[in-house]
C-alpha cells in the first residue's frame, strides 16, 4: 500500500527548526522583536504599508470587523464557498451575514450577484463586503472596489488562500492579493496547510494608518501604553509613571508568539520558491485533466486567465460522482478533501434563514468538487500516482 498522501502538508526545514531554537534561547518568547520583524517582512512581501501579526486567521477577521465598527445592525455580504470563519467574524460582533452566489467559472464571489443584492435593498442597508481569494484564485477586487465606492462599503479581503497571488488591474499595474490598494483590510493565515506554516498564526495588512493603530491595540486587550493615546483628563490616577497603561476599549489577547513569528519568518524567506512549486504541480494536473476532459472523461477544472497569478492553495477538480471518487481515492491512501460545505447550509446558518436552493452555483459546485493533494514537497511520482488513480476511477464511471 502506498504511503498516505494528504491534500496538504507543511514543509519544515532545518533552517525553520534553527530559527525556532534561536527564539527559545532568547530573552523573549512573546511580544519580542520577532513580531515586528515578521510584520515588516510580510508587508514588504505583500506590498502593503502596514501589517499586524495575530494569533490566527480567524482572530484577524474578528479584529478587522471590530476595527471597522461591526455590531448589531451591521449587515455584511460574503461568499457561501469559504471556510465558515469568513462569515462567523461578523456574527462574533453581533452583525448580520448575507450571502451572494459565486461565479460558476471561478467559484469566486460574483460581483454581479453582489450588485443585485445591494440594489434589492435601500441605500445604506449594507456596510461591507468580505470577498475571498478561494483556493488561491484572486477575487475581482477591482469590481468589488467599484461596488464599495458606489454603495459606501468597506472591504475585508480574505486572502488566506492567496499569499503571493497576483492580478493585473484595468489601469495596468500588477497587484499582490492583500497589498492594500483596493481592500481596506486583508487577512492571511499561517495554519500548517497554508503557504506559510507557523503552527497557528495570522496577519492583517492595510494601507490605512488609523486602522493599523487601532488593530495594534485591539489585539492586546484594547490596552495602550503610549502616552499619545491616553485619556485627558484622567480621573483616579494621581501620577503616570513608566508602568502606566490604559484600556480605552475592550480588546482580546490575539497576539502571536515570537516562536511562531520566527517560524513564519523562516518560511517567508522561501515563500516564492514554494509558490513556484505549487504552480508547477498545478500545471501538471492541468495538463492531465484537460486532456482527460477532451477525451470525454467526466472531469472539470478551472484554469485562470494569464493575467491572474493563482497561488494554488488548493487544486480542485469537479466530477459527477464526487463521493465515489473520494471513497475510491481513500482506498488508495490518497486523502483528498472537500472545500467547502456551503456556509449557508451549515446548521447554525440554516437557523438564521439559510436553506438549500438559495445559491445554486455554490451548491452545484459543492456537489461535484474535490481537492486533490497539492503541497510543495509532493513529488512528481506521488502526483503521478494521484493522477493515475483519478483516471482509473473516471474511466470506470464514464
CB 201, CB 256: distance < 8 Å: yes
171 and 301 belong to one structural domain: no
**What does the pLDDT read at residue 289?**
98
CB 55, CB 254: distance < 8 Å: yes
334 and 254 belong to one structural domain: no
Kindly report, residue by residue over 342-366, the tens digit of the pLDDT. Answer: 999 999 999 999 999 999 999 999 9
Please compute, for residue 105, the number of CA atoms within 13 A of its CA located in the half-sphere on the CB side.
Answer: 5
157 and 305 belong to one structural domain: no
113-73-99 Cα angle (round to 5): 20
- 153 domain residue, yes or no: yes
Domain span at residue 380 reads: 271-397
214 and 337 belong to one structural domain: no
223 and 149 belong to one structural domain: yes
- Helix orientation angle between 14-24 and 258-268, rounded to the nearest 10 degrees: 150
Share of the chain above pLDDT 70, in %: 98
CA 211 to chain centre: 19
Nearest CA among 75, 97, 77, 100 for reference residue 88 = 97
- 356 domain residue, yes or no: yes
**What does the pLDDT read at residue 237?**
64
**What does the pLDDT read at residue 228?**
80
194 is catalytic: yes
pLDDT band at residue 367 using 50, 70 and 90 as cut-offs: very high
Beta bridge partners of 98: 77
**What does the pLDDT read at residue 389?**
98
251 and 304 belong to one structural domain: no
Lowest mean pLDDT among 26-40, 50-64, 145-159, 242-256: 242-256
182 and 40 belong to one structural domain: yes
Share of the chain above pLDDT 90, in %: 91
138 and 277 belong to one structural domain: no
40 and 142 belong to one structural domain: yes
**What does the pLDDT read at residue 66?**
98
Residue 272 pLDDT > 70 = yes
Residue 268 to residue 205: CA distance in whole angstroms: 15
Helix count (H) and strand count (E) of the chain? 13, 14
Residue 67 pLDDT > 80 = yes
**What does the pLDDT read at residue 264?**
98
**What does the pLDDT read at residue 231?**
73
Residue 169 pLDDT > 90 = no
Nearest CA among 94, 55, 68, 84 for reference residue 206 = 68
**What does the pLDDT read at residue 351?**
98
Residues 6 or more apart whose CB falls under 8 angstroms from that of 241 comprise none
Beta bridge partners of 315: 372
Kindly report, residue by residue over 283-302, the tens digit of the pLDDT. Answer: 999 999 999 999 999 999 99
**What does the pLDDT read at residue 151?**
98
* CATH code for the domain of 210: 3.40.640.10
What's the rounded mean pLDDT across residues 3-30? Answer: 97
**What does the pLDDT read at residue 103?**
98
Task: Give the SS3 label for residue 49.
Answer: coil
Label the pairing between strands 128-130 and 75-78: parallel
**Annotated active-site residue in 194, 323, 351, 355:** 194
Retrieve residue 296's grid coordinates: 470525454
227 and 286 belong to one structural domain: no
What's the rounded mean pLDDT across residues 162-191? Answer: 92
What's the rounded mean pLDDT across residues 79-103? Answer: 98
User: Which of 244, 268, 292 is a domain's end point?
Assistant: 268
261 and 304 belong to one structural domain: no
Retrieve residue 376's grid coordinates: 510543495
- 1 domain residue, yes or no: no
Retrieve residue 230's grid coordinates: 491616553
**What does the pLDDT read at residue 172?**
67
Nearest CA among 334, 278, 345, 267 for reference residue 310 = 278
**What does the pLDDT read at residue 225?**
86
> What's the mean per-residue pLDDT of the chain?
96
User: Which of 220, 238, 268 is a domain's end point?
Assistant: 268
Residue 223 to residue 211: CA distance in whole angstroms: 15
Kindly report, residue by residue over 191-244, the tens digit of the pLDDT. Answer: 999 999 999 999 999 999 999 999 999 999 999 988 888 876 666 666 778 888
CB 168, CB 140: distance < 8 Å: no
- 190 domain residue, yes or no: yes
Q: Does the predicted model carry a pTM greater than 0.95?
A: yes
Retrieve residue 391's grid coordinates: 483516471
297 and 281 belong to one structural domain: yes
Specify the residue for cell string 461565479: 103
What's the rounded mean pLDDT across residues 19-25? Answer: 98
Amino acid at each position: 500500500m502506498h504511503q498516505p498522501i494528504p491534500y496538504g502538508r507543511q514543509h519544515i526545514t532545518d533552517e525553520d527548526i534553527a530559527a525556532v531554537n534561536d527564539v527559545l534561547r532568547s530573552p523573549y518568547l512573546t511580544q519580542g522583536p520577532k513580531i515586528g520583524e515578521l510584520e515588516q517582512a510580510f508587508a514588504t512581501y505583500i506590498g502593503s504599508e502596514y501589517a499586524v501579526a495575530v494569533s490566527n486567521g480567524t482572530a484577524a477577521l474578528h479584529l478587522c470587523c471590530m476595527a471597522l465598527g461591526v455590531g448589531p445592525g451591521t449587515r455584511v455580504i460574503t461568499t457561501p464557498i469559504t471556510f465558515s470563519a469568513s462569515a462567523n467574524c461578523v456574527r462574533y460582533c453581533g452583525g448580520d451575514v448575507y450571502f451572494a452566489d459565486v461565479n460558476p467559472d471561478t467559484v469566486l464571489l460574483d460581483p454581479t450577484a453582489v450588485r443585485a443584492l445591494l440594489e434589492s435593498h435601500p441605500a445604506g442597508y449594507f456596510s461591507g463586503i468580505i470577498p475571498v481569494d478561494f483556493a488561491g484564485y484572486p477575487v475581482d477586487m477591482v469590481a468589488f472596489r467599484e461596488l464599495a465606492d458606489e454603495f459606501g462599503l468597506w472591504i475585508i479581503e480574505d486572502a488566506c488562500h492567496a499569499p503571493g497571488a497576483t492580478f493585473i488591474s484595468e489601469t495596468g499595474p500588477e497587484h499582490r492579493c492583500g497589498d492594500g490598494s483596493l481592500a481596506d483590510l486583508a487577512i492571511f493565515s499561517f495554519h500548517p496547510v497554508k503557504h506559510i506554516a507557523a503552527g497557528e498564526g495570522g496577519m492583517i495588512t492595510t494601507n490605512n494608518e488609523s486602522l493599523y493603530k487601532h488593530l495594534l491595540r485591539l489585539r492586546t486587550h484594547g490596552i495602550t501604553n503610549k502616552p499619545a493615546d491616553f485619556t485627558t483628563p484622567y480621573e483616579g490616577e494621581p501620577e503616570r509613571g513608566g508602568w502606566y497603561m490604559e484600556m480605552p476599549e475592550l480588546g482580546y489577547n490575539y497576539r502571536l508568539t515570537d516562536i511562531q513569528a520566527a517560524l513564519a519568518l523562516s518560511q517567508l524567506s522561501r515563500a516564492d520558491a514554494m509558490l513556484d512549486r505549487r504552480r508547477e504541480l498545478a500545471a501538471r494536473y492541468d495538463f492531465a485533466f484537460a486532456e482527460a476532459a477532451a477525451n470525454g472523461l467526466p472531469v472539470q477544472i478551472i484554469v485562470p486567465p494569464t493575467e491572474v497569478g493563482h497561488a494554488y492553495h488548493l487544486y480542485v477538480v469537479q466530477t459527477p460522482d464526487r463521493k465515489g471518487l473520494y471513497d475510491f481515492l481513500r482506498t488508495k491512501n490518497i486523502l483528498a478533501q472537500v472545500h467547502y460545505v456551503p456556509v449557508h447550509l451549515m446548521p447554525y446558518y440554516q437557523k438564521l434563514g439559510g436553506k438549500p436552493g438559495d445559491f445554486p452555483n455554490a451548491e452545484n459546485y459543492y456537489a461535484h468538487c474535490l481537492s486533490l493533494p497539492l503541497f510543495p514537497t509532493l513529488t512528481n511520482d506521488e502526483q503521478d500516482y494521484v493522477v493515475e488513480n483519478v483516471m482509473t476511477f473516471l474511466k470506470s464511471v464514464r
